[in-house]
Structure 1
Amino acid sequence: MRISRIYHPTSLKIGETVQLSDDAANHVGRVLRQQPGHPLVLFNGDGYDYSAVISESTRKRVTVDIHSAEKNLTESPLKIELLQVISRGDKMDLTIQKAVELGVSSITPIISERCGVKLNAERFAKKIEQWQKIVYSACEQCGRAVVPKVKEIQDIKPALASTFSGLRLNLHPQAPIGIRQLNHSETNIQLLIGPEGGLSDEEIELAREHGFTDILMGPRVLRTETAGLAAISMLQCTLGDMG
């Protein structure tokens, strides 16, 4: 029997009965058509998985009884913040989804000089909400119980100038070293990924001034939606818990 993992936005306690959110109830009750007695696993971002059983299931309402809690051990020892210049269409959605699966701790969408996405404040707010829902879904799929946060959209200059204690990396096609040559044991990492046209010379120099190290991914030029995911994978293999 397949046991679904469901994100729940509020606190969870053993022995209580909770009503699932409208989105979760629709998925469990209408899409999966799961009935009372079917087991579920809930998580709310506190690092625990909560074993539960459906007690009521209708087209509009699903309640579950929580029976036990267990610490989830899927988190990477690395705390990677992805600074991703916003890409067009569904490329940003894909990047966020896969970055969560690979273990990032947060995502900061960035506006740079060559960013091809131009939206007003209202549409950007809707984008943040949409991207956070993608994070919840990715956590349900990949088994994480700590939920990465999609932070507010920032212009690249204040983002680079912000205080950060850890290793700061910028992918650069002419960098002298790769990830395996870092020789670093730092677990807090900021990873900067530019747009399709790359960061401007001014932005690259500004990143260096604020402590970013240029790193090379290899001889081939990667698209923005590929570059970040490849770099996260290499960091997890070299310094984290993959491979």
Structure 2
Amino acid sequence: MTPPLFWVDDVPRAGAETTVSGREGRHAVTVVRLTAGESVLLGDGRGTVADCEVVAVHGKDRLTVRAGRVEFRARRAPRVTVVQALPKAERAELAVDLMTEAGVDAIVPWQASRSVARWAGPKAVKGVEKWRTAAATAAKQARRSWIPEVADLAGTTDVRDLCARVAAEGGVVALLHEDGGREFGGLDFGAAREVVLVVGPEGGLSDDEIADLTALGGQAVLLGPEVLRTAVAGAVALGALGVLTDRWARPQ
């Protein structure tokens, strides 16, 4: 079984000792119940991970570990951003969790025209922070070396700019839609260095949004025979993309 992963600000060099404390230390000691001699992983969420051994446990929220092998793991290619229209509150963090476990690189929360949830002012700040916390937690559970980036709340102008840039640079912009004109599996990811997946809210993407983003280089695609909930569509698309590209290939 893969050792549990914990986040630190800076991964220690090989042979060095460091103390894990705070929230991560409490989780390691009181939840995972680690003891001296057990193996753990320490990561900074920016690609660097160290294989470590627990040297000692202190109280209920601190442990000392010694680093062994330290490795930098590059991001997978192509880079994938999911533009996620705001789901209903009870499904929002589920969407982030599933996309993170499926390998997303960046998540853009989007106030789409049909979004039932409405974020503004302090609510937007709080919502984004919840998504970032959910992404970090899910990345730790999945033993990821990178924590997905979660952008600030985007409006349609921001989404237009992102899609236009990626399409102009030879990337793929896929609008997941039940009336898509072609199948997701038929897209040519070829040499694309970046992919954007646009997921609508519970009511789906509006006709205006589809027309607008298609004019900028996006392609409306059908992900599969079933109509998926907004909270799971991004994760399912990421799984399909992992098979259609080299994203899930074992590192050499």
TM-score (norm 2): 0.86
Question: In the TM superposition, what is the alpha-carbon distance from 1:34 to its structure 2 partner?
Answer: 1.7
Distance in structure 1 (CA, Å) of the matches to 2:151 and 2:201: 18
Equivalent residue, structure 1, for 2:196? 190
The aligned residue for residue 82 of structure 1 is 82
How many aligned positions are there? 242
Quote the RMSD (CA, aligned, Å): 2.2
Extract unaligned runs of 5+ from structure 2. Answer: none
Task: Identify if the C-alpha distance between structure 1 residues 48 and 202 changes in structure 2 by more than 3 Å, giving closer, same or farther.
Answer: same
| 1:45 pairs with 2:50 | no
Q: Which amino acid aligns with 2:238?
A: I
2:174 pairs with 145, 169, 177, which one?
169
**1:58-96 deviations in Å (ceiling 9; x for gaps):** 2132332223213447x5332110000011123121111
Q: Distance in 2 between matches of 1:95 and 1:2?
A: 25
CA distance in 2, matches of 1:178, 1:169: 10
* Aligned pairs for 1:96-107 within 5 A: 96-107=96-107
Once the two structures are superposed, what CA deviation does each residue of 1:188-216 show, in whole Å capped at 9, x if it has no partner?
Answer: 10000000011222111111122111111
Q: TM-score, normalised by structure 1?
A: 0.89
Checking the alignment, whether the CA contact within 8 Å between 2:11 and 2:50 is kept in structure 1 is no
Residues 78 and 236, structure 1, Cα contact 8 Å, conserved in 2: no
Partners of 2:46 and 2:208 in 1: CA distance:
40
Question: Which residue of the partner structure matches residue 69 of structure 1?
Answer: 70
Shift in alpha-carbon separation, 1:24–1:68, aligned structure 2, 3 A: same
Does residue 1:240 correspond to 2:246, yes or no? Answer: yes
- The yes-or-no answer on 1:220 pairing with 2:223 is no
Query: In the aligned structure 1, how far is the partner of 2:105 from the partner of 2:128?
Result: 16
- Which residue identity lines up with residue 71 of structure 2 in the other structure? E
Q: Which amino acid aligns with 1:180?
A: G
Query: Do the aligned residues in 2 keep the contact of 1:72 with 1:144 (CA within 8 Å)?
Result: no
The gaps in structure 1 that reach 5 residues or longer are none
Q: Do the aligned residues in 1 keep the contact of 2:49 with 2:72 (CA within 8 Å)?
A: yes
CA distance in 2, matches of 1:110, 1:27: 32
